[in-house]
Amino acid sequence: MPIDNDTLVREFVEAFNTKNTDRLAPYLHPDVLFHNYGEDEVRGRDAVLRVWKHVFGTFEQVRFETVHQAVNDDVVIAEQVHGLALPGRSPAPVMNMAVYEIRDGKIAAWRDYTNTAYATQLVSG
């Protein structure tokens, strides 16, 4: 039995805390489109997983938390805190708003909205 969209996205966000792209893969549609504003769009599950493999290798700590989440059919909007820590540094609490579009029980589109300049300042200390 498929899980509801609220649970799907909550489990996906929790999977980031493992820093293991194999845990992210089952939630992503093969043709997923990921757009982290301030960066180029990334299309396809394998390409998105490569992005996150690099992120996981760069940061000593990755801790994502959902603050609020709203679901309307196949669209999920989530306010999140991304705790990111470079080696030897304390985690920076980066506020993020994410929009997920679900198709066939998988995340088919994912857009992250954050203030990238402020996030970079927080992470680099």
Distances (CA, A) of 95 to 16, 50, 69: 15, 23, 14
Which of the listed CATH numbers 3.40.50.170, 3.10.450.50, 3.40.640.10, 2.40.128.30 matches domain 5-124?
3.10.450.50
Per residue of the chain (125 residues), what is the pLDDT tens digit?
678 999 999 999 999 999 999 999 999 999 999 999 878 999 999 999 999 999 999 999 999 999 999 999 999 999 999 999 999 998 889 999 999 999 999 999 999 998 877 777 878 87
Q: What is the pLDDT of residue 57?
A: 95
Closest CA relative to residue 110, chosen from 45, 23, 16 = 45
Q: What is the pLDDT of residue 1?
A: 60
pTM, rounded to two decimals:
0.92
Q: What is the pLDDT of residue 117?
A: 77
Q: What is the pLDDT of residue 124?
A: 81
